Amino acid sequence: DQQVKQNSPSLSVQEGRISILNCDYTNSMFDYFLWYKKYPAEGPTFLISISSIKDKNEDGRFTVFLNKSAKHLSLHIVPSQPGDSAVYFCAARSLDTGTASKLTFGTGTRLQVTL
Amino acid sequence: EPEVTQTPSHQVTQMGQEVILRCVPISNHLYFYWYRQILGQKVEFLVSFYNNEISEKSEIFDDQFSVERPDGSNFTLKIRSTKLEDSAMYFCASSIGQASNEKLFFGSGTQLSVL
């Protein structure tokens, strides 16, 4: 049961250009969404989040957009840098747990930023 | 920056053996979690722990699994009798609080291989 889907397993972007990573979800009880970045041999690192009451959250080069009606969110990285090359996981939290307990993750998108 | 530390980084065991995976959460965090990622699959929630008891667990977390906070700093995951399908990367995480907008901090994981 894939409640959080990242349909692109990989993405290659040139340095300086915009990277757009997409995520779709099916559970309408999700009320909080997070993006994590993961380098090889490391754990996921929190990147940015958005509450379901917002449609945009920006932090430096990273912006997350949420379209609740489409159950879709996206992460924009601009400008992309070689150090951004990593696996990006979309994660969501459900209203019915109401706590920080349980994140539901997508399968990840591997971003490669080329010179 | 404070971090979640996990030991060992790799653990190889024979099927049927018991393993204990160890974690030291961030010192002022009160909520602790275990997640796992089977190779090629998504990161999956196993269990959350607060105030010396399990607050939530997934269906993966059956009677073969247990968690413990034996002292003020360590948080352990025990698998009583390992199966081949327990082979995965196990991530420990912690958070300060339980509010739904809390972010989780992950350790770098223990790669468990069951032979």
pLDDT digits (tens, 9 = 90+) for A61-114: 999 999 999 999 999 999 999 999 999 999 998 866 655 578 899 999 999 999
Tell me whether B107 touches chain A (CB under 8 Å): yes
Residue contact B109–A106, C-beta within 8 A:
no
> Is pLDDT above 60 for A40?
yes
pLDDT score for B91: 97
Tell me which residue in B9, B101, B106 faces A44 most closely, judged by beta carbons. Answer: B106
pLDDT of amino acid B100: 65
Q: Residue A59's pLDDT is what?
A: 96
Report, as an integer, the average pLDDT of B42-66: 92
A2 has a pLDDT exceeding 80: no
Q: Which residue of B has its CA nearest to A106?
A: B42
Q: Is B93 on the interface with A (CB under 8 A)?
A: yes
The phi and psi torsions of A105 (rounded to 5 degrees) equal: -100, 150
Give pLDDT, residue A70: 96
Q: How close A111 gets to chain B, by Cα (Å)?
A: 16
Inspect the interface and report whether the beta carbons of A51 and B101 lie closer than 8 Å.
yes
Cross-strand partners of A66: A73
Segment among A50-64, A79-93, B42-56 with least mean pLDDT: B42-56
Q: What is the pLDDT of residue A86?
A: 97
Q: What is the pLDDT of residue A102?
A: 83
A7: closest CA of chain B, how far (Å): 12
What is the pLDDT confidence band of residue B98, given thresholds at 50, 70 and 90?
confident
Minimum distance, in Å, between the CA of residue A17 and any CA atom of chain B: 28
What pLDDT score does A1 carry? 62
B70 band by pLDDT with thresholds 50, 70 and 90: confident
A20 pLDDT above the threshold of 60:
yes
Q: Under an 8 A CB cutoff, do B56 and A108 touch?
A: no
Q: Average pLDDT for residues B62-69, to the nearest whole number?
A: 95
pLDDT surpasses 70 at B85:
yes
Question: What's the whole-number mean pLDDT along residues B53-81?
Answer: 93
Nearest chain A CA: its distance from B13 CA (Å) = 20
- What the block records as the tokens of B21 is 């995976």
The pLDDT of A46-55, averaged and rounded, is 94
Note if the bond before B8 is cis, omega within 30 degrees.
yes
CB within 8 Å: A103 and B45: yes
As a whole number, the mean pLDDT across chain B is 92
Q: Cβ separation of A100 and B105 shorter than 8 Å?
A: no
What whole-number distance in Å separates Cα of residue A40 and Cα of residue B107?
13
Q: If we measure between CA atoms, which residue out of B85, B96, B92 comes closest to residue B43?
A: B92
Strand, helix or coil at A104?
strand
Return phi, psi of residue B85, to 5°: -75, 0
